[in-house]
Structure 1
Amino acid sequence: MTLSILLKRATSVGDRFRHLAITVLVVLVLAVLLHAEAVLTTGGAVDKSMRYDIAMSGLNGRVDAVTARQRISQYAATGRVSDAEEAWLFYNILASRIETWSSGAFGAFVSASPQRKAMLDELSRDVASIEGDYAALPDREALARIDAVLEKAVGVIDRIGGEALMDNLVEAADIRATLLERQRLQNILVEVLVGTGAVLLLFMSFQARSLRRARTTAEQTAREFEFAARHDPLTGLPNRIAFHDALEQAISSGRPRDADRLAVLALDLDGFKAVNDILGHASGDDLLRSVADRLRRIVADWGPRDVVSRLGGDEFTVLTRISGGEDEAVARAKLLIDGLHEAHTLSGGNVVVNATIGVALAQDEESGSSMLQNADLALSHAKATGKGRVQLYDVSMRADATRRRQIEEGITQALDEGDIATHYQPQVDMRTGRIVGLEALARWRHPALGWIPPSEFIPIAEASGRIVEIGERILEQACRDTLALPVELPVAVNLSVAQLAREDLAETVADVLLRFGLPASRLKLEVTESVVMKDTRRAIATLKKLKALGVSISLDDFGTGYSALSYLRSFQWDELKIDRSFVRSLDSDRHSLSIVTSILELAARLDIGVTVEGVETEEQVALLTGAGCRVAQGFLFGAPVPASDLGALLARGGRAEGETRSTASVAAVSPARGIV
C-alpha cells in the first residue's frame, strides 16, 4: 500500500472524524441553544407566576386602598352621586381584598407574624366599621371617619405589602441562585460531554424534558393564581370582581331590548347567622358550599353564559338571560328559592334554609354597577317586608332608599335640635276612666319629610347604631316630664335590642333616676319578646339587674312571639301587655277573646299585671272588662301627646278612685287621633 493511498485514507478518516466532530458540535450548539431557550422560558413562566404571588397581592392591596381613598376624596370634592357609587364600589373591592388576605398563600404569610396578623385583623375591623358611614354620605363626620380609616389602611397595607415584597425578593434571590447554580453545572456538563456526543445528547434530552415539565408546572401555577384572584376561595364561584366584569361584558355585547334580556338576581340566605352561632363556623362553611353547588346545578340548566357568584358572607348573585320578561325572571328566582329550601347535609346535621331574592332587569343605557345596585335595593326591600320571597326592582325603591338616607342623615340634627321628642299616651282604668299611667313614645317631625312614623325611623336608627342615644334621650325626658306632673303616675319607656345588649344599661338607668330624682317605683321599662329572643340569656341577666333597682319590667306584645310561656318561667315580670292584634279582632273572632281571657287568668295566677293595647271602641271595652281586664290604652282614651299637653289631659281625665266610668269620662280623655 503506497504512502499516497495511506494519506488519502487518513485524510478520508480525518474528514469523517472532522465531519462527525462538526456534526456533534452543531448538535451540541443546538442543544445548548435549545437548553438556554428552555431556561429563559422557564424563567419567564416563573416571573409570570410571581405576578400573582403575595408580593402582587400586597401591591394590589395598596392600589385598592389608595384608589378607595381617592374615590372618597373625589366624592368629597364633587358631591356627585356617581362619585359616591364609585367610592362605595372601591370600598367593597378593598374590603374584599382584605378578606382574601386572610386565606391562601397570603393568609399563611400574614399568620406567620402575630404582629402582621393583629394589624390585618384590626384593619379588617376598622374597614368593616365604616360600611355604615358610606350610607351616611355626605355627612362630614362620616367622610372624616372614612378618610381616617382609609388613610390608616394605606399605611397598614403599605407595611404588610412591603414585608411581602421583601419576603418575595428573598425567595426570588434563592430561586435565581438555584438557577445560576444549575446553569453553571449544566455548562460544566456541556464542556465535559463535548467529546461524548451520544451521552450529552441523551443527557440533554432528559434535561429538556425536565425543563418542559417545570415550564408546564410554572404556567399551571400562574393560571391557578389568576383563578384565585377572581374566584371565591371557599366555594370556587366567581367573586365580586369577576361577576362585575362578566356583567359589564354582557351589557356591552347586547342591547337590553334584545331577545335575551339580562337579569341580575341578588340572593341572601335567611338565618345564616343562626347556623354559625348554633352549629359553628365549620357548618356555616359547609352550608355555603352546599348552596353554591345547588346554585351551580340550577343555573347550569338555564344557559352556558349564565353566571353564579358569591359576593361575600351569605350573599350570592346570578346573572342570567331571559326572553320572557319579568315573569320569567321571577319564576327563575323562585326556582332558586325552592332548590335551596331542600335540606342541606352538613357536618353538624341537616339544615333547612330560606332565601330572599331581589331581581333587576337591564334597562337602556344602564351600567353594571347600577343594575347590581338595583338588585340589592330590591333585596333590601324584600327583607324589610318579609323574608323568603322574590322582589322585582322598581324606581320607587330608589326613592325609598333616598328617603331612608334622608332619615338616617337627619337623626343627628333631630337629636341636636330636639325634633325627636317624647309624647305620652295615657293608660286608663276602664272601669273608672282614671288615668293610671303613661307610656313614653318617640315622635319625630322632620323639617322636610313631615311626621315620620316610629315604625320607619326606629329600625333605621337601630341599623345605624343611633337607637341607643335616642333611647337614652327618651328615658331622660320621660323622667324629667313625669317628675313635673301634678300627680304621681308611673311612666313606661321602651327598651331596644341595642340598649338591652349593653352591659352598662342598669348603671345608665340608675344614673338617670338619680340625676332627675324620680323614684324607681314610678319607672316601668318595656321589652318585646323579639328583643329578648336576640340573646335570651344576656337579656334576662340584664333585666334582673334592672329589677334590682326597683323599676318595673313589662313584657310588651305578649303572645306574638315564639316562646312567650318560657319567658314567664325564666323571669318575674311585673306586667304583660296584650298586643293590639288580639284586641282588633275581639268582636269578630271568638278565639281572640278566649286567648285574652286565658292570658288574664294566667297573669292572675302568677301575680302579674296586665295592660291591653290598641283599644279603640266601646264594644272592645265592654268585652275586655267582661273578661276581667282593667287597664288599657288606645285611641279611645287618647292619642300620644307632647309633655306640654299632659296637664290639660290629666285635668280632663283624672277621676277619683271608685268613680263609675262613663262614656263622658272616656270622651274627656279621647283627643282626635294623631301620629302613633
Structure 2
Amino acid sequence: MRFSTSEQEKLIARYAALQIHEDAKAARQSYRELLTALANWPSDNYRQVVGQSDYIEEKLGNILKSSQRVLPYLDNLDDHTATSNALIILQGIDSSLQQINQMVTQEAVRQEDGAQAVFQMYQRAQTGLFLGFLLSGLGWIFFENKRRKEQKLEAETSLDRAEQLEHQLRHDSVTGLINHRAFDEMLTSAWSGLLEDQTLSVLSIDLETRLPARNKFNQATEDALLASTADLLRHAVDQLEGVTCVARSAGKGFLLMAVADEEFGLTSPVVANRIHDIFLRPVPTALGSFLISPAIGYADSKTVERDPSDIIRNANLAVANAVNHGRRRVVTYEAAMRTEMERQTIVENALARAIEANELLPHFQPQFNLKTGRIFGVEALARWYHSELGWISPSEFIPLAERNGDIVSLGWKILETACSEVQLLPNELTVSVNLSVAQILSDDVVAMMDECLGRTGLPASRLKLEVTETTIMSDLKRIQTTLSEMRALGVGISLDDFGVGYSALSYLTDFHWDEIKIDRSFATKAVRDRKIRDILKLVLGIAETMGSDVLIEGIETVEQRDVLVDLGCANGQGYLFGGPMAIDDITTLFFSENGQRSFAGI
C-alpha cells in the first residue's frame, strides 16, 4: 500500500488547470521517487507473505515498463496531449498496483485466519490475545484521531493555497496592485452603482516610452521603479474622495479609477493633472532615483453610453495619442482619436502588403547649385498612394513602419528602386537615399548595399547615403565603422538634418562626411537672425576644412536663397526649386528639349 499514483495524478491535473510550475516540478520529483521504490520492490517482508508469485512478478515487470513511458510526458506538461497521456498511463499503473494489493491482502487474510486457528489451540493464550486486541483497538483510536487532525490540517492548507492562488490571479506580482482583469470588475461594479450626478473617470498612465534606456536599466531596476511608482499612485489615490482604485495595466503602465459628484469631488482634469504633478520630482527607489515623465490619458463616463469597458478603451486611446505625438502632458479623450486610431489600424495592416506589392515608390526632390541654378542631384523620398485612402503622408506611415519592423524592407525597396530609376537621368546626377537605424544596424548591411549596386548597375559614385544624428547616437562606434565600410564601396556618406536635436560640432569632425545637410529651420531663420547666420558661417568653415560639401534644405523663397548664397552656401533643395516628384516629372521638367534646365533666373 506504499505504492500509489494518486499524488502524481493530483499534481498533474492541478498544473493543467492552474499552470503552477511548482506542481509540475513536484509531480516529476514525486514520480521519480515512486520509480525508485518500485525498482527496489518486492521486499523480504512482502515475500514472507505471498512467497514467490510468477503472476505478480510479471505484473510488476509490466508496471515498470509502463512507468518509463510517463517520464517524457512529465517533461512536457504544457502540452495538453502529454498531460492526458500521462494521466491515462498513471491510472493504468495505479489499477495494476491495486490488483497486486488486493492479492497480497487476500493472502494476508488467509494467513491471519490460519494464525488465529493456531492461537485458539492454546487456551492459555486467551488472556494475552484479549489484551492484544484491546491494545490494537486503542492504537487504532489513537491513529484515527491523528489521521483526522492531519486531514483537517491538509484541508486548511488547501484553503490557504486556494486563497493564495486567487490573490495571484487578481494581483500583479511586481507592484502588488490589482491587475487589469480585477480592475474591469471593479469598474463594472462602480458603473452599475453610478448616480445621475456622479461621473466615473479612468486614467491610463503609460511609462513604456518614458523609462530610461535599457543599456543603463536592467530588469531589477525596472521592477523597483514600477513598484515605487505604484506606491506613489496609492498615496495619491488615498488623498482623493469617493470610490477610487489603482491597478497595473498591461505592459509598463497603470490604470486609475475615480468617482466624483458634480457638487463635490475633483473633476477628471484636476485628478489627471495631480497625478502628472507627482512625477515632476525623481521617483525614489532602493536602486536610485529616476526622473520620468509619463504620458497620461483620461476619459469619463460621459464619453460612453452603455459599456463601461469603453471608458478604459477611450483612456487608452488618449494615452496612445499622447505617446504618438510625443506629448509629455495630460491628454483628454476626443471622439476624433477613435477615428485616428481606426485609420492608423487600417494603414498599419495595409503597410506590409503595400511594401510587398511595390505600392510604395520613391519620388525625387531635385538638388541645385544655388549659384548656377543647375540641378546636380536628387533625393529619393518614399511616397504611398493607397487605393482607398489616397496619398498617405510619410509622417504617418514611416513611424508605423519603424514601430512594427517594416522599415527595413521598406528602406531596401526604396533604395533599390531609386538606384534603378535614377539611371534614366543624366550620368552626372547623384541620388541621395536615407538609411534607417534598423537598416544600418543590420549585420549584413554592407554586403546588401554592394549587392544592390551590382544588381541595379548603378555606379557607387552616384549614390549618397544619408544618416541623421539621432541614428548615429544609437550606437556611435558601430555605425561609424559600418559607414566607413560602405564608404569603401565608393558611395558618398551624408550627415542629414544637422542642427536638430542633439547637434554637436563633434559629429562634423569625428567622421569624414562627403556632405553635410543643414536642417530646413536654418533657411527660414537665417533671413532675420544674425546668430543663425554666424552659426552657418562657422559650419561652412568647418565643412571646408574637413573637405565636405554643404547642402541646405527647405529653401522656399528667393530671399532665403539670396541670403544663403551671400553666406557662401553652394547647394540647396526646397520647394522654391521643386518638391518630391516622380522620375518622369524630373525628366520632363529638367531634361526634355523644352524643359527648364536651370533656375539661375529665379
Normalising to structure 2: TM-score of the pair? 0.75
CA distance in 2, matches of 1:166, 1:299: 52
Amino acid at match of 1:609: D
CA distance in 1, matches of 2:24, 2:251: 18
Amino acid at match of 1:365: E
Say whether residues 1:58 and 2:16 are aligned partners: yes
CA distance in 1, matches of 2:596, 2:28: 69
Q: Counterpart in 2 of 1:442?
A: 382
Change (3 A) 1:156 1:208: closer
1:111-164 CA distances to partner (integer Å, 9 max, x unpaired)? 99xxxxxxxxxxxxxxxxxxxxxxxxxxxxxxxxxxxxxxxxx99542676699
1:548-568 CA distances to partner (integer Å, 9 max, x unpaired)? 211111111112122533433
Amino acid at match of 1:59: A
Native 8 Å contact 2:242 2:258 kept in 1: no
Change (3 A) 1:55 1:369: farther
Match of 1:351 among 277, 285, 290: 290
Amino acid at match of 1:58: A
Residue 235 (structure 1) shift: 1.2
Residue 585 (structure 1) shift: 2.1
SS at match of 1:250: helix
CA distance in 2, matches of 1:163, 1:537: 55
Change (3 A) 1:543 1:449: same
SS at match of 1:354: coil
Q: Which has the larger radius of gyration?
A: 2
CA distance in 2, matches of 1:335, 1:648: 60
Q: Counterpart in 2 of 1:654?
A: 597
CA distance in 2, matches of 1:273, 1:107: 36
Residue 453 (structure 1) shift: 1.3
Change (3 A) 1:547 1:302: same
- For structure 1, which runs of at least 5 residues remain unmatched after alignment? 1-46, 62-100, 113-153, 174-188, 656-660, 667-676
Q: Counterpart in 1 of 2:299?
A: 360
Q: Counterpart in 2 of 1:320?
A: 258
Q: Counterpart in 1 of 2:408?
A: 468
Residue 596 (structure 1) shift: 2.1
CA distance in 2, matches of 1:460, 1:409: 10
Pairing 1:252-651 to 2, within 5 Å after superposition: 252-254=192-194, 258-269=196-207, 271=209, 274-303=212-241, 305-323=243-261, 328-362=267-301, 363-415=303-355, 417-651=357-591
CA distance in 2, matches of 1:592, 1:603: 16
Change (3 A) 1:209 1:155: closer
Higher helix share: 1
1:182-232 CA distances to partner (integer Å, 9 max, x unpaired)? xxxxxxx99749779xxx89x999998877666544432321111011111
Native 8 Å contact 1:275 1:284 kept in 2: no
SS at match of 1:366: coil
Residue 107 (structure 1) shift: 9.3
Native 8 Å contact 1:272 1:284 kept in 2: no
Residue 270 (structure 1) shift: 5.4
Pairing 1:19-30 to 2, within 5 Å after superposition: none
CA distance in 2, matches of 1:163, 1:292: 44
Native 8 Å contact 1:266 1:379 kept in 2: yes
Amino acid at match of 1:291: T
557-566 or 520-529, larger mean C-alpha shift: 557-566
Pairing 1:108-147 to 2, within 5 Å after superposition: none
CA distance in 1, matches of 2:248, 2:461: 53
Amino acid at match of 2:579: A
437-446 or 302-311, larger mean C-alpha shift: 302-311
Amino acid at match of 1:299: V
Native 8 Å contact 2:467 2:496 kept in 1: yes
Residue 246 (structure 1) shift: 1.7
CA distance in 2, matches of 1:237, 1:165: 37
Native 8 Å contact 1:359 1:378 kept in 2: yes
CA distance in 1, matches of 2:483, 2:567: 30
Amino acid at match of 1:158: H
1:481-516 CA distances to partner (integer Å, 9 max, x unpaired)? 112213421100011222223212211111110011
Pairing 1:56-205 to 2, within 5 Å after superposition: 56=14, 58-59=16-17, 105=22, 157-158=79-80, 192=135
Residue 323 (structure 1) shift: 3.4
Pairing 1:18-57 to 2, within 5 Å after superposition: 55-56=13-14
Normalising to structure 1: TM-score of the pair? 0.67
1:498-542 CA distances to partner (integer Å, 9 max, x unpaired)? 222321221111111001111111101111222233333443333
Amino acid at match of 1:302: L
1:427-448 CA distances to partner (integer Å, 9 max, x unpaired)? 1111110111110111122222
SS at match of 1:641: coil
Native 8 Å contact 1:425 1:640 kept in 2: yes
Change (3 A) 1:163 1:625: farther
CA distance in 2, matches of 1:632, 1:54: 72
CA distance in 2, matches of 1:332, 1:472: 47
Residue 271 (structure 1) shift: 4.5
Residue 306 (structure 1) shift: 1.7
CA distance in 2, matches of 1:107, 1:208: 28
Native 8 Å contact 2:241 2:260 kept in 1: no
Residue 610 (structure 1) shift: 1.2
209-218 or 614-623, larger mean C-alpha shift: 209-218
Amino acid at match of 2:16: G
CA distance in 1, matches of 2:77, 2:457: 50
CA distance in 2, matches of 1:263, 1:190: 75
Q: Counterpart in 1 of 2:45?
A: none
Say whether residues 1:242 and 2:185 are aligned partners: no
1:92-113 CA distances to partner (integer Å, 9 max, x unpaired)? xxxxxxxxx7xx747977999x
Native 8 Å contact 1:58 1:165 kept in 2: no
Q: Counterpart in 1 of 2:68?
A: none
1:397-447 CA distances to partner (integer Å, 9 max, x unpaired)? 111111112222332453355432211111111111011111011112222
SS at match of 1:322: strand
